[in-house]
Amino acid sequence: MRNSFSLFLLTLAAGPAWAAIATPPSCSATQLCPEEYPCCIGGTCGTGTYCLGGCEPLLSYSLNACTPKPVGHNQTYTWPNLNRTIANGKYLGNASAADWETSGTPKLSDGHVILTMPKDTGGSLLSSTQYIWYGKVGADIKSSRGAGVVTAFILMSDVKDEIDFEWVGSELGEVQTNFYFQGVTNYTNGGKTPIPDGNSYTTWHRYEIDWTPSAIHWSVDGTVVRTLLKASTWNATAKRYEYPQTPSRLQISLWPGGRAGAAQGTIDWAGGNVDWDSTDIREQGYYAAEFANITVQSYAPPEGSGSGNRSYVYVDREGLEGSVKITDKGIVLADLGRTGLNTGVDEGSESGAQGGEGGGKMVNKVY
């Protein structure tokens, strides 16, 4: 389902409003953000957290309005506590101090992270603070259940290249795979695969995305269930490969595809309206999806991609693999009133504050 995940999360604002203006400037392919509010996310312009993870450089005032994004490394995430997470609206770019940016109310149980969706809420989202430019990500996952309830495990870039696993709670016997190039809707890109024991909710399964410059492999329990070759995505008219090819962060989420007010097509895809009086809501107070043993393996970057090793930047508005360079530029903002144009932090420093108690404009972050 095109951007069933992404479009909903554009409305999921978890941070406080900071000096919000009555009518925020909008941004699109035909209208870039103004200099005062230079950073675009989800069609809205702002400063501060709008300029960090998810900031869309192609729609922002300038390519360097968004902060450079942290180069990721091999990681295995276990969950003894939530100390390495930081709430949306407080993160200022210091990826060495926080592994995940959070929206909603994640919980812990036996070393697993549980994403929750209480009654009439937007659910939960965790976004990695580091980005990879090709690599392999995996997790042991128990999806949620119920009509309208969607669990997701995806890679998402700042130009909306996207690689997905998604679970619709009314279809526990299968998992959906999908990919997008720069957010372009193409309903032929999706696929479905059966769950080995027929139930994604009751049994742990391992899901992996292996993303290389030439192919993407989706695997379930160690078996490749789908392969996409980059060569198959050539667009002869545009003369480009419409293939995910830009640095991406890992996102895990639980969200209400069948919420009131959603587009009917999204509700239908999600299996109908969410039952906010379901057994899960009545007995535990929320819908839940569990994630454990999340692994990230970062592959070598493309040749000629720069001489740095710290951060990714875009150098043109094509949004292709060749548009990205690896640099040693800083990634941290001094406070939520800053942007990539004026970080307030000395170049190369990672000492930016982790709190968000400073000024800022339009920092109710969206994804």
Cα distances (angstroms) measured from residue 63 to each of 155, 251, 291, 323, 342: 22, 23, 35, 11, 13
Name the active-site residue from 162, 208, 242, 290: 162
Residue that is written with structure tokens 């057994």 in the block: 279
Cα distances (angstroms) measured from residue 176 to each of 189, 190, 193, 220: 11, 7, 6, 11
Burial of 72-88, coded b for 16+ CB within 10 Å and e otherwise, reads beebebebeeeeebbbb
Q: How many CB atoms lie within 10 A of CB 173?
A: 12
Q: Which of 287, 339, 274, 265 is nearest to 7 (CA)?
A: 265
Q: Which helix (H) or strand (E) holds 284?
A: helix 279-284
Instruction: Identify whether the C-beta of residue 252 lies closer than 8 Å to the C-beta of residue 167.
Output: no
Q: How many CB atoms lie within 10 A of CB 214?
A: 11
Q: Which residues contact 301 (CB under 8 A, 6 or more apart)?
A: 133, 134, 326
Backbone dihedral angles phi then psi of residue 76, each to the nearest 5 degrees: -125, 120
Tokens representing residue 67 in the block: 């902060």
Name the active-site residue from 166, 208, 242, 321: 166
318 is catalytic: no
Backbone dihedral angles phi then psi of residue 75, each to the nearest 5 degrees: -145, 145
Cα distances (angstroms) measured from residue 187 to each of 179, 193, 232: 10, 16, 16
Angle at 22 (CA atoms; ends 20, 25), nearest 5 degrees: 85
Secondary structure (3-state) at 321: helix
Distance, CA of 32 to CA of 43 (rounded, Å): 10
174 is catalytic: no
Cα distances (angstroms) measured from residue 106 to each of 141, 152, 164, 201: 15, 14, 21, 18
Backbone dihedral angles phi then psi of residue 197, each to the nearest 5 degrees: -105, 10
Task: Give catalytic residue positions.
Answer: 162, 166
